[in-house]
Amino acid sequence: MIPREDTLRDWNLVEVEIGSVRELLAVGQLGELMACQPGPGPNLVLIAPDARAALDASGLRYRVVAQDMLSVAREERRLNDEARAQRDATFFTAYRTLDEFTAHLSMLDVYPGLPDEQVTLFSIGNSIEGRPILGLRIASPNPPQDVQRPVFLITANQHAREWVAGASGMYVADRLVTGYGVDPAITALVDGVEFYVIPIVNPDGYYHTWINSSTRYWRKNRRNNGTSFGVDLNRNWAFAWGGPGSSGSPTSDTYRGTAAFSEPETAQIRDLILGVPSVSSPLPNLKAHVDLHTFSQLVLSPWGYTTSASPRASELAGLTSSMVAAVEAKHGSNYTGGPAGATLYIASGVAPDWSFGTVGALSWTFELRPQSGASVSGFSPAPSTILLSAEEAFEGIRVLAEHVQVRMRIGTVSPAPDSLASGLPADWSIAIAPENGYALDAGSEALFYRLNGGEWSQAPLTGGPSQFIATIPAQFCSSSVDFFVEARASDGFVTRLPANAPIEFFSAATPPCPFCLGDADGDQAVEFRDIISTLSNWGSVGEPGIAGDSNHDGIVGFEDILAALQNWGALCSR
Ligand code: 0X9
Ligand code: ZN
């Protein structure tokens, strides 16, 4: 049943000052919490005309933000219609209907100039009302080094009314498809990562928010619960399902459903993920998941279901702050990062807890713009916000997409030598740490070196399992050695230090050779002891820097003895 267009008439949007859990519960009875962060402090609540007296009687402090939500919704619609009508309108300069999303996905699927395998439009199955849940798989046919790539899932609009989220998800897909082969950084991302983007997880709910102004603020899917509608898809995932911060009451906006994955929308994403096997791990190959929501400008890692610390907490915290920094740098806005339960509020059965807790993927909830819903609902900031929000979200996703490609970190424990004593080997201490669930293919770690720009040779590292010694072999005087280190991960992917070796490499030089022929010890004078050492080494071959090899050809030959004899007594200076 679709509410009449004027159902929202005279509903008030009020900001209630909440000081206790009791007050929060009371306000939840009176109206619909519109805040992304219900909790202490000001909370936006939608109040029906007949509940206003009860609100007054409750003694709660509040101020009216909007007298008539119907006119707020209508005004949003009017502004969007204006934005749509602009001559230079693009997909991202106005809010778009479900049909427009479908059309845009189809357009990207056949985007000209890209190989067929690169972009695939897929449906994971139908929603409750029978709409296909569409996504794009974006992955180039050129995986670097021909290994299996990490899978990155981007989902949006589990919550129907959060329109900026779906638009931002679509923007990510759009950038990846249209930037390939044009922007080298995007090309590298699409070569290195297999992306799955599902911009509208909840098509029925999204459709519903477009029916008329009174349906604009629908959140859940459109499951018919008998006397009411909808399951909150972001309470329906199997990790910690049924716990605090989810409701067993079908009328609640955080209704968790009758069982974990009771809803086709969530169950089919689960099946998609579980169906992406990994060659190097028993778990599916999903390595990253970002679930887009609005609003409040937050970057939230697991756990959502508890305020207790998650596994890998410092790794998640480091990534959260890198993502926040990248998101903020794009347009100078403010985002807050942290674990979801501790930073925002506890919610059980949320998507990132499942993809992190069950599959082991690095997973985040992004709450996009605006920061607060001060004067409007917060779910339809001005259409000009869409692109800004999407561009910010993209930068956070980029950080994570770059991170999940890392199999191995190769670091220097001692600095790479830049000078070598002639005739002596030099040791260089290296640390190798696998990342993202990969392992070091033991024995694959090696030093590559070349003399005076010649051919590369290879020498194994010694030590291990995490700290190694690279030994740069002894060289003649006046030589230069270039070198780099590489190691292979369990999936076959080779990592090098420096990362783009052998285009870049380290270099070290031996001191210049002694100036005069016959000066076997290089002390700038040809003395009797030089003749003796030349004679005693006569016939030695290939020993770098050996005394007596005064022409530095790697052999102490007859001509070296002659040179020493001829120059005996000479003082050498440059
Ligand atoms: O409650 C949600 O599902 C998300 N907020 S929203 O306003 N978009 O509905 C937040 C989920 C993040 N996880 C936790 N807070 N636990
Ligand atoms: Zn949401």
| 321: nearest Cα among 345, 342, 341, 337 | 337
Q: Would you call 427 exposed, middle or buried from its count of C-beta atoms within 10 A (0-12, 13-18, 19+)?
A: exposed
What does the pLDDT read at residue 375? 46
Six-digit token pair at 44? 């936006």
pLDDT at 159 exceeding the cut of 50:
yes
Cα separation, 138 vs 553, whole angstroms? 56
What does the pLDDT read at residue 570? 79
Count of other CB atoms within 10 angstroms of residue 500: 9
Average pLDDT of the residues in 316-325? 98
- Of the listed ligands, the closest to the CA of 378 is 1
Q: pTM surpassing 0.85?
A: yes
Predicted confidence (pLDDT) per residue in 535-544, tens digit: 988 888 877 7
Taking the centre of ligand 1 as the mean of its atom positions, its distance from the CA of residue 193, in whole angstroms, is 27
DSSP for 509-540 reads: EPPPPPSSTT-TT-SSB--HHHHHHHHHHTT-
- The answer to whether the CB of 344 is under 6 A from ligand 1 is yes
Q: CB–CB of 170/394 below 8 Å?
A: no
What does the pLDDT read at residue 514? 67
Predicted confidence (pLDDT) per residue in 183-233, tens digit: 999 999 999 999 999 999 999 999 999 998 889 989 999 999 999 999 999
**What is the pLDDT confidence band of residue 10, given thresholds at 50, 70 and 90?**
confident
Average pLDDT of the residues in 125-137? 98
- The answer to whether the CB of 296 is under 6 A from ligand 1 is no
The more confident residue out of 22 and 434 is 434
Shortest-distance atom of ligand 1 to CA 367: 8
Q: CB–CB of 316/339 below 8 Å?
A: yes
What does the pLDDT read at residue 254? 94
Check the CA dihedral 133-399-300-237 and report its sign.
positive
What does the pLDDT read at residue 238? 98
What does the pLDDT read at residue 13? 87
Exposure pattern of 305-325 as b/e (b: 16+ CB <10 Å)? bbeeebeeeeebbebbebbbe
- Tell me if residue 289 falls in helix, strand or coil: strand
Give the active site residue among 76, 263, 367, 486.
367
Residues contacting residue 85 through CB under 8 Å, at least 6 positions apart: none
| 339: nearest Cα among 352, 355, 322, 354 | 352
Q: CB–CB of 380/82 below 8 Å?
A: no
**What is the pLDDT confidence band of residue 3, given thresholds at 50, 70 and 90?**
low
Q: Residue 203 is inside which H or E element, if any?
A: helix 203-209
Cα separation, 541 vs 127, whole angstroms? 78
Predicted confidence (pLDDT) per residue in 502-515, tens digit: 999 999 998 887 66
What does the pLDDT read at residue 533? 85
Cα separation, 404 vs 282, whole angstroms? 17
Active site residue 367: yes
Predicted confidence (pLDDT) per residue in 26-71, tens digit: 887 888 877 666 677 888 888 888 888 999 998 889 999 888 888 8
- The answer to whether the CB of 456 is under 6 A from ligand 1 is no
What does the pLDDT read at residue 373? 59
| 231: nearest Cα among 269, 262, 201 | 262
Indicate the average pLDDT of the chain. 91
- The answer to whether the CB of 345 is under 6 A from ligand 1 is yes
**What is the pLDDT confidence band of residue 286, given thresholds at 50, 70 and 90?**
very high
Cα separation, 64 vs 375, whole angstroms? 10
- Among protein residues, the one with the nearest Cα to ligand 1's atom 7 is 36
**What is the pLDDT confidence band of residue 523, given thresholds at 50, 70 and 90?**
confident
Sheet order of strands, 408-412 included: 408-412, 426-434, 467-472, 462-463
Question: In this predicted structure, which of 102-116, 293-307, 349-363 has the lowest mean pLDDT?
Answer: 102-116
- Among protein residues, the one with the nearest Cα to ligand 1's atom 3 is 234
Output the furthest CA–CA distance in the chain (Å, rounded).
115
Taking the centre of ligand 1 as the mean of its atom positions, its distance from the CA of residue 15, in whole angstroms, is 19
pLDDT at 573 exceeding the cut of 50:
yes
Shortest-distance atom of ligand 1 to CA 296: 7
